[in-house]
Amino acid sequence: MGVCMSTLILDEEGLLKGRLKRKLAAPSLNSTEEGHDNKLCSNGVSSSCCAHTKQGRKGINQDCFLAWESFGPQGEATFCGIFDGHGPSGHHVAKQVRDCLPNLLLDDECVSLYMSNNSQELVGGSPKHLKPDADALISVSKAFVDCYGKMDDKLKMHPELNCVCSGTTSVTLLVKKKELVIANVGDSRAILVSRGEGASLRVEQLTVDFKPDLPGELERIRNCKGRVFALEDEPEVARIWLPNENKPGLAMARALGDFCLKEYGLSAVPHVYHRQISEVDEFVVLATDGVWDVMSNEEVASVVDKAEPKGLAAKNVVDAAVKKWKCKFSHVRMDDCAVRNLNTACKLHVQKPLTTTVI
């Protein structure tokens, strides 16, 4: 019903920052991908991340995540991603994106140069003459958009995966020294938590929840002949429908997969955001909507901040979301929850499985 991951922010010498020097490890939470000690893709704790997911009551947990430390040509970056599948094959789609998208980014020349500290050599996707960092960031943003497009094409052409009415959200975070680049489609979320005056927490939402009734999304969908409306028993949930059929009723305006709706306004183009990491930034949290449906950004930030040891941060968020679901929606089947904490950003999701990652 949920997943959570967490990663600590390092200073220029590669040491854990201030308050985050508190022990990260938690008992019985040690799960890395077999043969890849720098990858975390199931409930567990790594040197800089923690993650936890819990299945909801809707059947298969369609949430999944990945934390990949020492990412890049020289192992100089950290990659984190959280994926919330939906539809009959949603769990397969989410895992396919988790396994393929990072490699597409690694193979991209712009992204590789950016991670190799050669970002000033980027111009229009090729290593050319030295250019300001702003140009490099534009190139990296375009590269993320291109890689998401390639990922969507791979899903469409997959010989064994039916993505006609199945798809996934995707929030991916690339952290390199004092910079982060985040890209997202769907309604999973990432937040950045900083320390303000008097040790107070300041929360910045890094992603947009791409719901179908957002003005810009709604206009695009209608221009493509898609329809947007909510069901009578869920008046607060806007959904996308085919022009002449009351299906599939997707509750997001951007997703990977879901090819029955791509002609009618559903987009796989990610929103890409770049941010400098400052000395007051503490951690990042990624989570699926199963968390955000019942918890505010501030509530999630508080749970992560109070976690001891820090390796329990993601699990604590998922547990808190479960309690909220039971109290707030006792008549509704709980969504999966996935949370990942990277210690500089945060994201959660409920109603389906719960998945959280803390970095």
Going by the DSSP 8-state scheme, the letter that residue 344 receives in this structure is S
Q: Tell me the one-letter amino acid at 68.
A: W
**311-323 in b/e burial notation, b at 16+ Cβ within 10 A?**
bbbbbbbbbbbbe
β-pairing, 353-358 with 336-341?
A: parallel
Segment-wise mean pLDDT, segments of 10 residues, the chain, 359 residues: 47 42 37 56 76 74 89 89 95 96 95 74 45 74 97 97 97 91 96 88 96 98 98 94 96 98 98 92 91 93 90 89 80 62 38 56
Query: Considering the entire predicted model, what is its pTM?
Result: 0.84
Type and span of the H or E element at 273? strand 271-276
Domains located in the chain, CATH noted: 2-210+256-358 (3.60.40.10), 211-251 (no CATH)
DSSP states along 196-212: -GGG-EEEEE-S----T
pLDDT digits (tens, 9 = 90+) for 269-296: 999 999 999 989 999 999 999 899 899 9
CA distance 288 to 252: 13
